Chain A
Amino acid sequence: MEFFRIKADIPFMRHALVLNAISVALFVAAVAFLAVRGLHFSIEFTGGTVMEVAYPQAADLTKIRDTVGGLKFDEVQVQNFGTSRDVMIRLSIEKGVTSAQQSETVMAALKAVDPAVELRRVEFVGPQVGKELATDGALALLMVIIGIMIYLAFRFEWKFSVAAIIANLHDVIIILGFFAAFQWEFSLSVLAAVLAVLGYSVNESVVIFDRIRETFRNKRKMDTVQVIDHAITSTISRTMITHGSTLMMVLAMLFFGGPTLHYFALALAIGICFGIYSSVFVAAAIAMWLGVKREDLIKPVKKKEGAEAELP
């Protein structure tokens, strides 16, 4: 079996301009969604109480809403979680009432209506913890970006490190854009997924950059555009297979991992798809716009005078 039977180098870079325009459009859309709708942060970031309760039969959401609503808490959200029998209740932080009292009152009220209800999970996060998590998350993102840029600049060249980071931040922003557009819950594990995608899709760019460098070295007659096209063409089959494999794993998580892993897997799946796209079309193209040259990657070997003279 061989999926990719490519006769000649595919001129990826010919369409670079169009594809970059699409990227810019997607990026702008994502930023717009983030700005207008914002992320639907989980209580890990905002603080508050989340309760997960399970019923032996399909839960009657309206009744639960009425019951919990009757308790006069500021802000209550009741929704299904995973299956029709599982219900998630979110309560906002209230001054003067501890989370313990909150969750117990709610549970007592639910038990009064239907004694078969089972408490699966309670999570309470105080406001100061939420703030810290948000800061830590932003800091982690920053450190990942700086670390990767330094490494790439050291291993390749600054143009590549800039290109890779722009391309992959574009992925991250687009994932966040999806979460904002559909108002999916952005939790700590989604943050972990986003950061993992950042590392993963840089890894993709690195493979292509590696090939670009090698091609520059071996095929002296090609110009920069040809070199990039050749490098992408020769790695495309690996790109597709690797991402296909990772995607299989992520889809397995999405379908079998249950509700807790749902958004985590979703973020990864989106990230992997855009990771392929951005490495192939965005990272290399940006490197091209930045004007990579053969000399950037292959340091001209300075001939030592006299070294040759010693040879017989």
Chain B
Amino acid sequence: MNRYPIWKYVVIALAIAFGLIYTLPNFFGESPAVQVSSAKATVKIDTAVLGRVEQALTAAQVAHTGVQLEGTSIRVRLKDTDTQLKTKDVLARALNPDASDPVYVVALNLLSASPQWLTSLHALPMYLGLDLRGGVHFLLQVDMKAALAKRVDATVGEVRGLLREKNVRHAGIVRNGNAVEVRFREEAAAERARGLITDANADLQVVEGPAEGGERRLVVTLKPAAERTLLDNSVTQNITTLNNRINELGVSEPVIARQGADRIVVQLPGVQDTARAKDILGRTATLEARLVDLSAEGQSAITSQGPVPFGSELFRQGRGAPVVLKKEPIFTGEQLTSAAATFDENQRAAVAISLNDPAGRRLREVSRENIKKPMAVVLFERGRGEVLTVATIQSELGSRFQITGMDSPQASNDLALLLRAGALAAPMEIIEERTIGPSLGADNIRQGFNSTLYGFIAIAAFMIAYYLVVGFISTVALAVNLLLLVALLSLLQATLTLPGIAAIALTLGMAIDANVLINERIREELRNGATPQAAIATGYERAWGTILDSNITTLIAGVALLAFGSGAVRGFAVVHCLGILTSMFSAVVVSRGLVNLWYGRRKKLTSISIGQVWKPKGA
């Protein structure tokens, strides 16, 4: 009766094999590597850069164990830390001729040293949280009110400009909270304005406000959908901006992610210099559109290194550079209300730009006088300008215009992003900050590991002493539980934190409950005079209902923690929940399989090695 069908053994064997394979990468440690990523918004990492890296390595005769292009960075794996430092210098010199203005970030990194076949199975080491590896964590709150206010201000200008353009007489335009109120003395004007506004911008909605003193009032607001898109875009834009800036820090694996509706998490593993990190997060960049200086002096300044004419400036960085631009800006980044990738009438990729009213007016004047002449957009950061684009003015431009002639939709997308990302869409505030020194991280790993180890040894010793062979089987089942849990955590790449390690320990301590329940039941059956085989069968069977009930209540607590917890609590809950699931499998299925394997085949089993079974006299 205590036999498992073959398929159950196969399932157990497969589970253990899975556990071993996915736990394995955690034992290989990490090997030194050098990572190359882009420092400039306009520079992309591609196979051409990969070629340059390989060339530089061959030229300097650096022995490496592999060069890979992964996503937006190139990684060079190396044998030891000495070559790592040397390689960093070699690559930095080769890729950044001008050290004061690096185009590429060359950073030291650690990569998992597990063999290629494991990596190709997606078997990676557990992803350690910042509290275990050290680094900086920021939680930023995007000020949505400010983003909205900026948009409403732009709408005021937009409506005013529109009404003036179409000669609609109004009695005043004011901003009222997040709405724009337009008053009219004449009925017809109001009706016309209403049509004009909704036609001009599909994002706006117009409702009738309460009339006052014989004046009709129209209330213009953003449609809820447009408002959501705006807020969404501001967060995405801020993330893009942060991404560009953090690249400069040369962090190997930064995490910049959205959290909830209006928050951004920034995690910089290994960074200790919080001051610099914070400075970079909070920096403001400016965007300026300028005319190209086409004068002979200006043009000669590019080629012959002659003096740059007064009132002009020479830019060497970016697309279309070198170029000499007039110093006076036509419009600036703050006046830009949106930039989006689109297509022109010939279905070529283009970028649609809209400006606020004053900037639109200014551009109209300037463009009228400079048709067929080039204009450039420059991004200033840290006092240095980078040319984003140089485009020829085809006709008189207004507050809405297009930059056409882009190579691909990808290129127009990039430019739109850059134009928008010049500045933060909305101000941000650091609402949570955590810095963990590398020594503390290492301490946390060691202490978490040690407590789990000692606890496990204590439980194992007790179980074996108290339940003998069956106790040993329980211990093996507990070890399988640990194996499966670590494998699952590695497979899911869930972030392991110190509370997570604590949850591993606690889950192991609690998982032994199922085996104690089973073993006590078996003893009880033996005490009541059951045969050993019958005692095993009934013991497992009766204990199962109890195990299920008790694990489900624990799981309810775990899931609630997962749903409502944050930070430390969530890290704990993830591991706790997974651990409960693996423990049910290992404590019931695996231990039963082992017991069946050990005892189930013997037809005439006279005793089970489960420790002393005491029987009260006369019972």
The interface of chain A, by Cβ under 8 A from chain B, is 1-3, 5-8, 44, 52, 54, 98-100, 103-104, 118-126, 128-129, 132-133, 136-137, 139-140, 143-144, 147-148, 151-152, 155, 187-189, 191-192, 195-196, 198-200, 202-204, 206-207, 210-211, 214, 234-235, 237-238, 241-242, 244-253, 255-258, 260-261, 264-265, 268
A1 and B616 contact, CB distance less than 8 A = no
What are the interface flags for B542-565 relative to A under an 8 Å C-beta threshold, 1 for contact and 0 otherwise? 100110011111111111110111
B536 to chain A, nearest CB (A): 17
Closest 3 pairs between A and B when the two form their complex, measured CB to CB: A199-B557, A249-B509, A126-B431
B455 to chain A, nearest CB (A): 3
B334 beta carbon closer than 8 Å to chain A: no
A191 to B568, CA, bound (A): 10
Partner of A248, one of B443, B455, B616: B455
Chain B interface residue count, CB cutoff 8 Å, equals: 82
Known: A54-B439, A265-B502. 4 other contacts (CB 8 A): A132-B566, A136-B565, A252-B454, A261-B502
Q: Which of B405-433 contact A (CB under 8 A)?
A: 429-433
Q: Which residues of chain A have C-beta atoms less than 8 A from B451's C-beta? A: 249, 252-253, 255-257, 261
B516 and A241 contact, CB distance less than 8 A = yes
Q: Which residue of A lies closest to B524 (CB)?
A: A234
Q: Which of A98, A124, A198, A257 has the most CB of B within 10 A?
A: A257
Q: Which residue of B lies closest to A235 (CB)?
A: B520
Q: Which residue of A lies closest to B458 (CB)?
A: A248
B52 beta carbon closer than 8 Å to chain A: no
B509 and A257 contact, CB distance less than 8 A = no
Q: Which residues of chain B have C-beta atoms less than 8 A from A211's C-beta? A: 546
A52 and B566 contact, CB distance less than 8 A = no
B561 and A195 contact, CB distance less than 8 A = yes
A196 to B555, CA, bound (A): 9
Q: Which residues of chain B have C-beta atoms less than 8 A from A148's C-beta? A: 553, 556-557
A189 and B568 contact, CB distance less than 8 A = yes
A207 and B516 contact, CB distance less than 8 A = no
Q: Which of B439, B443, B509 has the most CB of A within 10 A?
A: B509
B614 beta carbon closer than 8 Å to chain A: yes
B517 beta carbon closer than 8 Å to chain A: yes
Q: Which residue of A lies closest to B617 (CB)?
A: A7
Q: Which residues of chain A have C-beta atoms less than 8 A from B576's C-beta? A: 196
Do A261 and B447 contact each other (CB < 8 Å), given the known contacts A140-B564, A206-B550, A238-B516?
A: yes
Q: Which residue of B lies closest to A191 (CB)?
A: B569
A252 and B560 contact, CB distance less than 8 A = no
Q: Which residues of chain A have C-beta atoms less than 8 A from B569's C-beta? A: 137, 140, 188-189, 191-192, 195
Partner of B554, one of A152, A199, A248, A256: A199
A249 and B139 contact, CB distance less than 8 A = no
Q: Which residues of chain A have C-beta atoms less than 8 A from B561's C-beta? A: 140, 144, 192, 195-196
Q: Give the A-B pair count, Cβ closer than 8 A.
A: 256
B455 and A252 contact, CB distance less than 8 A = yes
Partner of A260, one of B431, B444, B524: B444
Q: Which residues of chain A have C-beta atoms less than 8 A from B189's C-beta? A: none
B455 and A123 contact, CB distance less than 8 A = no
B520 and A2 contact, CB distance less than 8 A = no
B458 and A7 contact, CB distance less than 8 A = no
Q: Which residue of B lies closest to A255 (CB)?
A: B451
Partner of A144, one of B435, B557, B567: B557
Q: Which residues of chain A have C-beta atoms less than 8 A from B437's C-beta? A: 118-121
A263 to chain B, nearest CB (A): 11
B568 and A188 contact, CB distance less than 8 A = yes
B580 to chain A, nearest CB (A): 9
Q: Which residues of chain B have C-beta atoms less than 8 A from A249's C-beta? A: 451-452, 455-456, 458-459, 505-506, 508-509
Q: Which residue of A lies closest to B559 (CB)?
A: A147
25 contacts between A and B (CB under 8 A): A8-B616, A119-B272, A124-B432, A125-B431, A125-B433, A129-B139, A133-B566, A137-B564, A144-B556, A148-B556, A189-B569, A192-B565, A199-B553, A199-B556, A202-B557, A203-B554, A207-B546, A214-B542, A245-B462, A245-B512, A246-B513, A249-B508, A252-B455, A256-B447, A268-B506
A196 to B546, CA, bound (A): 19
